[in-house]
Structure 1
Amino acid sequence: MSRRLEGKAALVTGAGSGIGRAAAAVFAREGARVIVSDVNVPGGAETVAAIQKQGGEARFIRCDISKPAEVEALIRGAVEAFGRLDCAVNNAGISGVMAPTGDYPEDMWDRIMATNLKGVWLCMKQEIQQMLKQGGGSIVNTASAAGLVGVPMAPAYVAAKHGVVGLTKTAALEYAKANIRINAVCPGVVRTPMITVATDGNPEIEAAVIAAEPVGRMGTPEEIGEALVWLSSGAASFITGAALPVDGGLVAQ
């Protein structure tokens, strides 16, 4: 069976756990050489070890995507490792605290914006420059269903993810003729460490979250990883500027 990304060089940020880890594993399964990046060094190392155990090729580069110098070093390191950058998944993000807009802590607002929006832009900036040099590539940003609809008590997260969707569409238009496709996935409720923190391990809160999903369950990181890889592959060659809900019907309600 042919592998969809055989020989491609890929980068996945936030790959130390959750959706990023699952995405990195699917990229490797499909034949890509993968740069795994995260601020979580032990988590990143675990992701690399799991990929290598399955016969894939992966390397870890630590990066805080909110810091421009670290992002520049990340992209430089990725190109030094594999010679080019064909696919980039900008997945790293944080959830922050839950509070109404009028009471939201300013320091937390700034932290979420620095990582979830500015960090994505910093990564895109460097990735686009590299892809222009080599004649093309694919970028997929992890937005959220919260980038398409409002979510009470999460103003900073929602604002940042809406920003990611807008940034994705704008950049897609700017670089469409340069053979660089830029898309976003918008996951619904997915069983990851982030959702565990958000529900605080409370079964009643978790049940309420699941009840919001028309399919009656949470998604899995692997399901989001499959969408990320599909958008990065030749199978999606005529798709750019899309914000694809992968959400069990959540935003269709």
Structure 2
Amino acid sequence: MFRLEDRLVVLTGATGGIGSVLARRLADAGARIVLADRTPPLPSEGTIGALTFDMAERGACAAAAAELQERFGLPDIVISNAGFTRAETLETTDGDAWEAELAINLSGARHFTDPLVAGMRKRGHGALVFISSVNALAHYGNPAYAAAKAGLLAYMRAIAVEAGPDGVRANAVCPGSVRTPAWDHRFEKSPDIAAAIVPLYPLGRMVRPEEVADAVLFLASDAASGITGVALPVDAGLTAGNTAFIRAIG
């Protein structure tokens, strides 16, 4: 039930740390994959094509959705994985950072997927999985990113409720700290950051990209055919409770 043979899948943010692992997992599951990113994705197993566009540009998103359908057809599954953040506190989140991060993390996801959702509703089936964040569930820094990822959950639920009667499912995965190259700038700034954050996670470690990819594969597959409108944390227990707090007061 976790197989995706002959399913056409489009994956945004395909060249990133999570995206590259997702592409491999989808290929292993038998999917036909269209990779999408703002830099040309490298072909890999299972890849039938690629799209290059900037999620921050509304027109580019609409054009990419049209190109996707013209060249490859309407996808069975959309995995909206593209994301970016650098404004880590309120003090470093100026107007430009706010607008840029909402454009990439929220508005771009909507502009690309909206025409695809419309096609799925007419066809009578489809599945979408959005990569949100634990930042959408509680505040762990990155205010603009958090607002965008929380908005992404609201958009996901809107699709689940309004397009559900037309056979379209929508869910989200909310990763915690995932050790990908996106963390490199933090480790360069604070080499001991891992030792500081690991105790906050009940499992005592950061999440692996493969664990996020497996959760996405589940939600995209027929194994989750009765699941829609769900935000699934993959966070090593971060949102379940605070181990460090318990130790501090114990």
Secondary structure in 2 aligned to 1:37?
Answer: strand
- Mapped contact 1:85–1:130 kept (Cα < 8 A): no
For residues 93 and 137 of structure 1, the distance between their equivalents in structure 2, rounded to whole angstroms, comes to 22
Secondary structure in 2 aligned to 1:203?
Answer: coil
CA drift at 1:200: 3.0
Amino acid at match of 1:252: A
Unaligned runs of 5+ in 2: 242-250
Match of 2:27 in 1: 28
Match of 1:12 in 2: 11
1:151-190 maps to which residues of 2 (within 5 A)? 151-152=140-141, 154-190=142-178
Identity %: 36
Match of 1:68 in 2: 58
- Mapped contact 1:39–1:62 kept (Cα < 8 A): yes
After superposition, give the CA deviation of every residue in 1:82-115 in whole Å (9 maximum; x if it has no partner).
Answer: 333100011101012222x255211111100111
Match of 2:132 in 1: 143
Tell me if 1:191 matches 2:190. Answer: no
Match of 1:59 in 2: 49
Segment drifting more, 78-87 vs 104-113:
78-87
Match of 2:107 in 1: 118
CA drift at 1:162: 1.1
Selected match of 2:80 from 90, 101, 124: 90
- Mapped contact 2:81–2:131 kept (Cα < 8 A): yes
Secondary structure in 2 aligned to 1:150?
Answer: coil
Computed over aligned residues only, the root mean square deviation of the Cα atoms, in angstroms, reads: 1.7
Amino acid at match of 2:13: G
Unaligned runs of 5+ in 1: none
- Mapped contact 1:33–1:82 kept (Cα < 8 A): no
For residues 28 and 18 of structure 1, the distance between their equivalents in structure 2, rounded to whole angstroms, comes to 16
State the TM-score, normalized to the length of structure 2. Answer: 0.91
- Mapped contact 2:2–2:218 kept (Cα < 8 A): no
For residues 2 and 191 of structure 2, the distance between their equivalents in structure 1, rounded to whole angstroms, comes to 40
- Mapped contact 2:65–2:113 kept (Cα < 8 A): no
Match of 1:211 in 2: 199
- Mapped contact 1:84–1:134 kept (Cα < 8 A): no
State the TM-score, normalized to the length of structure 1. Answer: 0.89
Segment drifting more, 188-197 vs 227-236:
188-197
CA drift at 1:124: 2.4
For residues 82 and 23 of structure 1, the distance between their equivalents in structure 2, rounded to whole angstroms, comes to 20
Secondary structure in 2 aligned to 1:217?
Answer: coil
- Mapped contact 1:141–1:185 kept (Cα < 8 A): yes
For residues 136 and 9 of structure 1, the distance between their equivalents in structure 2, rounded to whole angstroms, comes to 12
For residues 157 and 80 of structure 1, the distance between their equivalents in structure 2, rounded to whole angstroms, comes to 32
- Mapped contact 2:18–2:212 kept (Cα < 8 A): yes
For residues 242 and 9 of structure 1, the distance between their equivalents in structure 2, rounded to whole angstroms, comes to 22
Amino acid at match of 2:118: Q
- Mapped contact 1:5–1:30 kept (Cα < 8 A): yes
CA drift at 1:201: 5.5
- Mapped contact 2:51–2:64 kept (Cα < 8 A): yes
- Mapped contact 2:87–2:144 kept (Cα < 8 A): no
Tell me if 1:234 matches 2:222. Answer: yes
Q: Could you say if the C-alpha distance between residues 28 and 96 of structure 1 is closer, same or farther in structure 2, counting changes exceeding 3 Å?
A: same
For residues 151 and 209 of structure 2, the distance between their equivalents in structure 1, rounded to whole angstroms, comes to 23
CA drift at 1:224: 0.7
CA drift at 1:209: 2.3
